[in-house]
Amino acid sequence: MQSKCGASTLVPHKITEVQATLTPDEIVLAFIWYVVFLFSTTCHEAAHALAAKLQGDETAARGGQVTLNPVPHIRREPFGMVLVPIASVILSKGSSLFGWASAPLDPEWERRFPRRSAIMAMAGPAANFILMFLAVLGIQIGRAMHLFSNQGGGAFAFQLLFILFSLNLLLGIFNLVPAPPLDGSSAVMIFMGDSTARRYLDWLRGGNLGLMGLLAAVVLFRYVYPPIHEVVTDALLGVQWF
């Protein structure tokens, strides 16, 4: 997401069917989802922060967020990166994970250089797509080398890589939805001239569009995303490459 105070990422994701109690296997699965979420959101926000720093805004860099160490990112969003994701897993009995993170930006820098802000916004989803393709490559190599054939470490490795693939596909696509406060609402400025982009920013930041945009994006995404996930999964994992 992109907001006046920074760029953020949001993860609404369904993990399993709801059960009456969490079994040990479901607890392990929920833990894997959380670890992958923490790593993926850290990469997402670090990409935002690095893109801003390289283009002249060191706001996030001064907060220590140009790093793959999750601690500075957790320090900025303890609720979104720790408390809410863990609580959502527990309260839903392992069926859902919900969380968010953010990287700050200088609103004056954004107004002076709206296209740079758009590049900053796109950097987060780009990091997620890179992680997604690395997961695909790992799965394809593992299949070719028959590393996933046993029920111990091989099965665990496949599950971990598939979760990395699925979560980062969701992160990348969802955050590019052009609805405030998601990254896509700022990314569209890459196609605008500076004066048009500034008028757009006045409209975007001037109203209370964040909650309405987020709710609309979540509702729409529930119907749009499943077929996207199916098509991408079939295209990238349905055929063995090696």
Catalytic site positions: 45
Which residues have C-beta within 8 Å of that of residue 110, sequence separation ≥ 6?
A: 57, 116, 117, 186, 201
Task: Identify the H or E element spanning 135.
Answer: helix 114-144
- Tokens in use for 78? 């303890």
Measured CA to CA in angstroms, residue 238 lies from 172, 183, 225, 234 at distances of 20, 30, 18, 4
Coil, helix or strand for 97?
A: strand
Q: How far apart are CA 211 and CA 232, in angstroms?
A: 29
Taking alpha carbons only, the member of 158, 128, 159 closest to residue 40 is 128
For residue 191, report the phi and psi dihedrals to the nearest 5 degrees. Answer: -95, 5
Taking alpha carbons only, the member of 189, 49, 19 closest to residue 113 is 189
Query: How many CB atoms sit inside 10 A of residue 32's CB?
Result: 16
Q: How far apart are CA 72 and CA 103, in angstroms?
A: 10
DSSP strand E in the chain: where?
6-14, 96-104
To the nearest 10 degrees (0 to 180), the angle between helices 194-206 and 114-144 is 80
